[in-house]
Amino acid sequence: MKYISTRGRMEPVGFQDAVMTGLAPDGGLLLPEKLPQVGDRLEEWAQLSYQELAFEIISLFATDIPPADLAELITDSYATFDHAEVAPSVEVGDFQILELFHGPTLAFKDVALQFLGNLFEYILEQRGGKLNILGATSGDTGSAAIHGVRGKPNINIFIMHPAGRTSPLQEKQMTSVLDDNVFNLAVDGTFDDCQNIMKTTFGDVGFKTEHSLGSVNSVNWARVLAQTVYYFYAAFRTMEKTGTKSVQFSVPTGNFGDILAGYLAQRMGLPISKLILATNENDILSRFFNSGTYGMADVVPTLSPSMDIQVASNFERYLYYKVGEDAEKLAAMMDNFNENGSLSVPLNENGAVDDLFVAGRGDTAATLATIKKYHDQYGYVLDPHTAVGVYVAEQFKSEEAPTICLATAHPAKFTQAIIDAIGEAVHHPTLDALANAETRCDSIANDVDAVKEYLVGHIM
Ligand SMILES: *Cc1c(COP(=O)(O)O)cnc(C)c1O
């Protein structure tokens, strides 16, 4: 399987190169040249465990990794999860709640980043070489990335967070990881400052090459690929429970990585009748699917911070299919977007952008009310991200296709929002144990040169 750029100006590369490249050199995102069609394998796949299914799906894409090695990578990646099924579904009211928070940091990003960390280390072992990951985080991603690569001999990870501006719990999830290859940097500035330092450092191509800098951002193809697995797994479980022939998924959405995985699963032949896209007040994507116009707006902070985005970094992959896999047309659209901050696609005869998608938004009041409702009626506590998805899903129920709502984080991660919604906190032993954990973190000035100097001094 070869990978191409959505903007068409890159020689096709193999899977391992696609993983190590991240963003394509022409500014586009990588996609497989052709999506495999798996419709005739679904019956057989429905019998598999999560890990076996992951192997079947990923091996169609990772054709340059020997099967035995891939099987081991997958087994190792999901051995860190605290549930035998990895991604179990539970019935709550009218919905199946797909719990994606059984990994080490209690958020769905672990599903992809546990795999990506092992994959990076495997490729570096094969090829020789080191990787120094530099990232900026306001919370979830940094912590999942750190837990994905901790203790790996050929990788160092440097994660910047804005000093004093990350929730104490999320900060501790990062700084309590004491492995020698993990460096937490508390930057005297905001999250934007951290991102700017990162962009400037990566922009210095000489420095980046000399020090083998890399990133783990959500455009990495391996992340999207790992996420397609749970769409298949959950659809099989729900169809077998309900006897239906198709399902719909509701996805709390930020950078469009998660829902893109569902879209690809559908294109590969999984019977998904609707993808319900749910955003918070940062609703660039729900506006797009309801109006055809994708227009940038300012970010407002919400109760679901991992969905607080201005532009969705994975959206370009969807657009590529939307314009009929025409890379030139897509490149022109993206150029136009970068110039004007907006792009449009025509609506179809049903007044929709795409008949597969419906979209809506849930604001702070809706989030709190939904958490309270499911707690009071069913004794189940949704985290604020999941609550947005459930709130929007309530508007799109179907008789023929049961709705699976993706639960992207454990509620114990968002103490204050949960207290505001139901009057008490929920607990998780992993988080409770952090209270007395030893931590390691270095403070650093809000200054690119200070960060570069730190990197050079600590790269082993
Ligand atoms: C990252 C994240 C999301 C959004 O996922 P995208 O792939 O960016 O759309 C939703 N919920 C939680 C808890 C997250 O960490």
254 CB under 6 A from ligand 1? yes
223 CB under 6 A from ligand 1? no
pLDDT in tens, 19-63: 998 888 898 999 999 999 999 999 999 999 999 999 999 999 999
Q: Which CATH class is domain 89-103+222-430?
A: alpha beta
Does the pTM of the predicted model rise above 0.85? Answer: yes
Alpha-helical runs (H) found in 323-399: 327-340, 364-378, 384-393
Report, as an integer, the average pLDDT of 400-424.
97
Q: Quote the mean pLDDT of the chain.
A: 95
pLDDT in tens, 201-226: 988 989 999 999 998 877 899 999 99
Q: What are phi and psi of 412, to 5 degrees?
A: -65, -15
Which residue ranges make up each domain of the chain? 89-103+222-430
Report which secondary-structure segment, H or E, holds 248. strand 247-252
Listed residue (259, 230, 267, 280) closest to 96, CA to CA: 230
Greatest CA separation found in the chain? Answer: 61
> Looking at ligand 1, which residue's alpha carbon is closest to its atom 1?
306
Distance of CA 68 to the CA centre of its chain: 27
Residues identified as active-site: 109
255 CB under 6 A from ligand 1? yes
Tell how far the Cα of 173 is from the centroid of ligand 1, in angstroms.
17
Nearest atom (ligand 1) to Cα of 227:
7
Report, as an integer, the average pLDDT of 101-106.
98
Tell how far the Cα of 87 is from the centroid of ligand 1, in angstroms.
16
189 CB under 6 A from ligand 1? no
276: left (phi over 0), alpha (psi -120 to 50) or beta: beta
142 CB under 6 A from ligand 1? no
**Best of 29, 216, 258 to mutate for ligand 1, by most ligand atoms within 8 A of CB?**
258
Split at pLDDT 50, 70, 90, the class of 166 is confident
Q: 316 with 334: CB under 8 angstroms?
A: yes
Q: 421 with 414: CB under 8 angstroms?
A: no
Q: Say what the pLDDT of residue 195 is.
A: 87
413 CB under 6 A from ligand 1? no
Q: Can you tell me whether residue 24 is helix, strand or coil?
A: coil
> Looking at ligand 1, which residue's alpha carbon is closest to its atom 14?
306
Q: Say what the pLDDT of residue 155 is.
A: 97
Nearest atom (ligand 1) to Cα of 313:
8
